[in-house]
Structure 1
């Protein structure tokens, strides 16, 4: 396949996924964000690799991005951002504990977890989510492919039904989710 054909094919596949977005799930995520803020809870975002970057971007947009514009004051924390903590936990007790250990004895029923995982089967994601569910924390799962275990564990799922291995498309859609939510709040701020 030549470059031009590949580029057009990628764009077409992304357009097809956009056409199938479950807008109801996005609305439910917005509702959970607002409920969490009203209860005085913390929104924790977790992810690995590219999903880690999305977690950081989401924390930036929904926390400081909205706060500095005087639109919303969500308390959003990306647990993927502290490399000393992550490397210490993974070195001392295993990578599967990097999010769980940061949540242990901290997370409570007022909080919300946004877990981002293309496969939905990352052990560090599922362990943290299972622990949070024991504490009656609501879970938003951002998944791809078949959704894996995270899709089953989540209260609200933003699922990208892309073919297995299409990480770029799934990660693109998760980033678009962030920007839809962020832009929704920006539009509310502009209406005031």
Structure 2
């Protein structure tokens, strides 16, 4: 295939995924997000590799975007409740310390366990659905009675059984770099950013509607 053919393949695969994208899990996690916000709970989120970088983007959006005016020229009243959002991937010092002391499989569980409650939402992103550090943290969240959401691909792995809501990105890929064990990985990572944007936008809409009552 030519470079142009490969590029068209990627875009065609992406369109097919969007057309088949499961909306019901998105609706369900949006409801859990609203419940967490209304209860004054905290959103905890975790991922590995490049997806941890995407969560840094999500942290910024969730923490700030629902609480500014549409034209971004002013913040809404400080009296409006904000969303508490903790990116468990955010501190290299904390993560390397936990890995050094406890091992990589327990790094997110150790960061989460002392703080998570039944008022919180734990969001887990794992392409395989089987990342040990994500699975152990989800187990901690379930034990605490927290709301749980996972985003995966393929067959959903263990995340599918653990999470209250599991969004499995559909499709398969023949594009270079995301075949074999990495099947659909680029599309999964693209979709992760879109899911976070949809949730941020819905929360912004809910916050704005509450201000008009």
TM-score if structure 2 supplies the norm length?
0.84
Q: Deviations over 1:100-151 (max 9, x none)?
A: 1111221110111000111010000000000110111111011112111111
Alignment size in residue pairs: 192
The root-mean-square deviation of aligned C-alpha atoms, in Å, is: 1.8
Q: 1:75 aligns with which of 61, 69, 84?
A: 84
Q: 1:139 aligns with which of 148, 153, 172?
A: 148
Aligned counterparts of 2:49 and 2:135: Cα–Cα separation in 1? 16
The aligned runs of 1:17-36 (5 Å cut-off) are 17-36=17-36
Change (3 A) 1:30 1:103: same
Deviating more after overlay: 158-167 vs 14-23: 158-167
Aligned counterparts of 1:189 and 1:121: Cα–Cα separation in 2? 35
Structure 2 partner of 1:37: 37
Q: Deviations over 1:58-77 (max 9, x none)?
A: 22111122224438721111
The aligned runs of 1:44-83 (5 Å cut-off) are 44-69=44-69, 70=76, 73-83=82-92
Contact conserved, 2:62 with 2:85, CA < 8 A, in 1? Answer: yes
Change (3 A) 1:106 1:190: closer
Aligned counterparts of 2:114 and 2:81: Cα–Cα separation in 1? 27
Aligned counterparts of 1:97 and 1:185: Cα–Cα separation in 2? 31
TM-score if structure 1 supplies the norm length?
0.92
Structure with bigger gyration radius = 2
Q: Which runs of 5+ in 1 are unaligned?
A: none
